Amino acid sequence: MKKAIIILIISLFTCTSLFAQEQAYEYKPLVEPGKTWWYEARQMGERPMAIGLRIGTAETIGGTQWHGCYIVDSGDRDNNLTPAIAYVRQDGPRFYYMPATEPDVWISVGSSLHDDIVNDVYQTCVHTEHMPAGGVLVCDFSAGKDDELDILGFTAAEQESDGTWKHFHNYYKAHIDNIGYITSCDIERKTLSGKCDNTDINFIDGIGETGSDWSGFFFSPVHMRPTGFSYWDIFLRGVVDADENLLWAADESIVHPWELAGTDDAVADRTTWSYADGEIRCAADATIRVLDTTGRETLAPVRVAAGGTLKPALDSGIYILEVTTDAGRDVRKIAR
């Protein structure tokens, strides 16, 4: 009996804390011009490449304000490849999208490689003429635990008894199992996780779907495609704002997601350098650079000869230490 009472008290305290956090939470805008999602695209036997997806300025389509989504080449980050491959909009905590073309139309945005990736990982079963007028709901961040959402889905048709065809949009049922909060790059964000069509989903407010089994663009997971199969696999590495400040990263090694930051080569060897007590010791020739957690450069690249040391003058805080040697580039998070 005593154990049951303790469990009840803990449960009530947890629920009260979560309720208070929810009441104080402010939703983060997901649709912001210039915000860019950077993905690592992989094909069997090939070296991974970075491909970006950027939100453009607002435009009115059918009386509704939408923002185009444009592919970005990591080697030419200042320019968007046209045309838009999809459109997105936000209504408070609800996020919607619509495709830019019909499903049987090949999307051409630039090089054949970009076209190949886009058409392989982008869903192909939504007809704009038969989808909801306001777009397809991707996620509602005001949802609570155990809520069910009608999200994403596909357009379909069925024949009536008189021989005519009825077109409609069929949603997937998403069940929200857990509500949580994370702090990424000093910004608190709400998370929703659960199941959709027996597949794990994980949404972060202001970021979108972040890399579940639905591996695909944040607004249109590849799982929606008719075959459920992708020749290209893409993984979200990071999201940056219009000024290229890091908003979210898949892991702490990522500084510049368009560079697939981390250990560039399998042969990279951390025995070539070490960090302790604020000092960097180099066993091999190295170039040292330090950035803050938003990706801003705190220490410009400095060359240190083999056997040398470097003690950067840093204020208290968390920093990203980037060390490049002949063995490759290595990135590590440090605290001062």
- Domain containing residue 311: CATH number: 2.60.40.3080
The answer to whether residues 69 and 56 touch, using CB atoms and an 8 Å cutoff, is: yes
Could you say which of 257, 290, 311 is where a domain stops? 257
- Residue 44's pLDDT is 66
Query: Do the domain assignments include residue 161?
Result: yes
Q: How many domains does the chain have?
A: 2
Query: Do the domain assignments include residue 108?
Result: yes
Query: Do the domain assignments include residue 169?
Result: yes
The answer to whether residues 11 and 18 touch, using CB atoms and an 8 Å cutoff, is: no
- Residue 91's pLDDT is 94
Tell me, yes or no, whether 89 and 118 share the same domain.
yes
The answer to whether residues 224 and 152 touch, using CB atoms and an 8 Å cutoff, is: yes
Tell me, yes or no, whether 206 and 307 share the same domain.
no
Tell me, yes or no, whether 72 and 179 share the same domain.
yes
Tell me, yes or no, whether 171 and 306 share the same domain.
no
- Residue 9's pLDDT is 47
Tell me, yes or no, whether 87 and 214 share the same domain.
yes
Query: Do the domain assignments include residue 15?
Result: no
Residue 323: which domain range? 270-335
Could you say which of 227, 257, 287 is where a domain stops? 257
Name 246's bridge partners.
240
- Residue 261's pLDDT is 54
Tell me, yes or no, whether 298 and 243 share the same domain.
no
Quickly tell me which residue has 């305290």 as its tokens. 13
Tell me, yes or no, whether 227 and 99 share the same domain.
yes
d(CA 210, CA 196): 14
d(CA 126, CA 89): 17
d(CA 319, CA 336): 8
Query: Do the domain assignments include residue 202?
Result: yes
Tell me, yes or no, whether 117 and 241 share the same domain.
yes
- Residue 222's pLDDT is 52
Tell me, yes or no, whether 136 and 250 share the same domain.
yes
Tell me, yes or no, whether 238 and 294 share the same domain.
no
Query: Do the domain assignments include residue 265?
Result: no
- Residue 234's pLDDT is 83
pLDDT (tens place) for every residue of the chain, 336 residues total: 555 554 444 444 444 444 545 557 899 999 999 999 999 888 766 678 899 999 999 999 989 999 999 999 988 999 999 999 999 999 999 999 988 887 778 888 888 888 888 887 876 678 878 888 889 999 999 999 999 999 988 888 888 889 898 888 888 899 999 999 999 888 999 999 999 877 888 999 999 988 665 567 888 755 444 444 457 778 899 999 999 999 999 887 788 898 875 444 443 455 688 888 788 888 889 999 888 766 678 888 899 998 889 988 888 777 888 888 887 777 777 777
